[in-house]
Amino acid sequence: MNQKVKWAIAFLSILILAMSIEAALIHAVTTAPSTLTISSGIYPAAPHYVVWVESSVYYVKDQNGLTVLSVTNATEAIQYAINLTTATTPSGGEVFVKSGSYVGASVTVKDNVYLILDSGVGTVVYTPTTSGTCTIEDRMLWKKLVYLDGNLVYSIDSSAGQHSYSYLIYQDGTFYYLKNGTTGAIDYSSTNASAVFQSAFDSLTSGGEVFVKAGTYVLTTQIIIEYDGIELVGEGFYKTILSYSTTSGYFMAIRHPVSGTSNARIRGIHLSNFMVRDTNTHNIAHAGIYIQGAQELTIDNLMFFYAANCITFDCSNATRPNRGGIFIHDIYFDECDGYMIADSYYDGVATEIKMDRIFITEGSADNMLDGIVFNNTVILYASQIDIDGPNRWGLYLNYSFGSTISDFWIEDVQRNYISGSRTRLTNGYITNNQYEGLWAYGMNQSIIANCVFTSNSAATNDTYSALNLTNCINTIITNSQFQSITEKWSIVEGGISDNNIITGSIMADYIITVGIDTHTNLCWNVTSWVA
């Protein structure tokens, strides 16, 4: 018998033996639940074996859709799939572990196995053979490790995004899990989502990121961030949803833990990429995010839906001001109650803040009271603000100093109010408000430029003006338009207003001035130019 024939017979013998072993294993296990299916597109290519968990039972399924193992031990199931892949496909094969709870799992993988983890697997140990390739891809950690002949040759899958975090929170059925981003271990699990979030925050005494996978997390008690440098990041506000059902008060508080310490500030907090909503519809007793003593705070890419009193800055404590690098941008408010962004104290220390791309809409509800309301603030810069529908104030800035509001659109509110010095309003559109378009009270040494006022005083029998200047001194209105005759007057001065300049603007209604040194020139005043 020649050598080629011997090799062929040996190969067939090994193949028959392997098939016999696999058939015996298939025959020995129970059948998977008929409700579970492995659909195409879950993994990049058809794996040789899939591991999943259902009702605390771990299943292994082969390429033909047959269940080859069902056990109650996570390690046993995953290790079995790895060993079977090595035995039946010497040239290499894939094992895909579906998302689920694999608490305490610890497996060993050798060469010629591509292990894909879409789940919370604990420990994976690589034991190299003499030659071959091994790949371990952890989708929760967004990491991929590639070994060639026992050597690590590739450690990050850049196509999946480079992302690291201190803790990962994910949901499996009624349980919520807290996975350590460094060790891969499940540090905490509970049916109480609030307890899982709080465990993560309390552990990050030196800061770190908490990454929250897609899912709905029902928070029943207040969660508190009180250490510097904590980031709470979701997968997107239509994917990661924080739904709160607290009995009363704010569902989240950001504050320094030591209440009696002077100048106790909290720094470097970042909230991003999730939705905040009430489990009930329009419950004004449930509030959103409370902030006190913040510095270097960023809130971005959030949506508030069916929420109430959404973002509150507590400015009542003079030793804990909210100022120094506070930035809020790309925030959406829809179908909400109460106010959207506000401070909580009339006579407190001023808040310094920058806002950009804020979108507020009442939606189909009729419960939204206020848009942006600050009783004592310095808004360093606010741009691209869109406010539509609050029943009371659209924009309310009291005792403001040095604020700049630009590129804004405000409509269908009761009125807007600004009080304070050195305020700049530019490139704005104020329309269809119930009373004045803007009530400027004591807005001294300020500028209103390139703004359009139209169709205000909509529900008050034309008794209000588009722009009311009360006790305003040394303010300039320029290059603006008052387009509609809905208002009774375009601009009205009142109180002790004086030394104002109204220039280069077009009026559809009359101007009434009281200041003896107020000057109006180069304006079209209904029927003629005012020189």
Over residues 233-278, the pLDDT tens digits come to 998 888 899 998 765 789 999 998 876 555 678 999 999 999 999 8
pLDDT tens digits for 391-438?
889 999 988 888 999 999 999 898 899 998 999 999 999 998 888 899
- Residue 114 is predicted with a pLDDT of 86
Q: What is the mean pLDDT of residues 327-346?
A: 86
Residue 514 CA to residue 528 CA, distance in Å, equals: 20
pLDDT of amino acid 42: 38
Top-confidence residue, 142 or 133:
133
> pLDDT at position 121, please?
66
User: Which residues make Cβ contacts (< 8 Å) with residue 31, sequence separation at least 6?
Assistant: 67
- The verdict on residue 148 lying in a domain is yes
State which residues form the domain around 10.
3-160
Domain end residue (candidates: 127, 160, 193): 160
Measure Cα distances from 102 to 48, 76, 84 in Å.
20, 11, 19
Q: Answer for the pair 272, 232: CB distance below 8 angstroms, yes or no.
A: yes
In a domain, residue 37? The reply is yes
Q: Is pLDDT at 34 greater than 70 in this prediction?
A: no
Among 106-110, 134-138, 152-156, the minimum mean pLDDT is found in 152-156
More confident residue, 440 or 337: 440
**CA atoms of 443 and 446, how far apart (whole Å):** 6
pLDDT at 514 over 50: yes
* CA angle, residues 97, 103, 109, in degrees to nearest 5: 50
* DSSP class per residue in 78-113: HHHHHHHHHHH-TT-EEEEE-SS--TT-EEEE-TTE
Identify whether 480 is part of a domain. Answer: yes
* Predicted pLDDT at 177: 93
Could you tell me the pLDDT band of residue 531, with boundaries at 50, 70 and 90?
low
Residue 50, Cβ density class (10 Å: 0-12 exposed, 13-18 middle, ≥19 buried): buried
Residue 329 lies in a domain: no
Query: Three-state DSSP class for 265?
Result: coil
Higher pLDDT, 255 or 512: 255
CA 388 to chain centre: 22
The total number of structural domains that make up the chain: 2
Distance CA 291, CA 378 (A): 16
Q: How many H helices and E strands in the chain? A: 3, 47
State yes or no: pLDDT of 158 exceeds 70. Answer: no
Maximum Cα interatomic distance, the chain, rounded to a whole number of Å: 121
The whole-number pLDDT of residue 32 equals 31
Average pLDDT across the chain, whole number: 81
Interval 375-404: pLDDT, tens: 877 777 899 999 998 888 999 998 888 899
* Position 390, amino acid: P
The mean pLDDT of 273-286, rounded to a whole number, is: 78
* Most confidently predicted of 211-225, 244-258, 336-350: 211-225
Q: 202 in a domain, yes or no? A: no
% of the chain beyond a pLDDT of 70? 79
pLDDT in tens, 73-86: 888 998 998 888 87
Strand duo 338-343 + 286-292: pairing: unpaired
**Comparison of pLDDT for 318 and 177, the residue scoring more:** 177
Q: Let me know if residue 126 belongs to a domain.
A: yes
Predicted confidence (pLDDT) at residue 139 exceeds the cutoff of 80? no
From 129, 160, 191, give the residue that closes a domain.
160
Read off the amino acid at residue 341.
Answer: I
Residue 142 belongs to a domain: yes
pLDDT of the residue at 7: 52
| Residue 420 placed within a domain | yes
- Confidence tier at 3 by pLDDT (50, 70, 90): low
Task: Give the domain-ending residue among 160, 178, 194.
Answer: 160
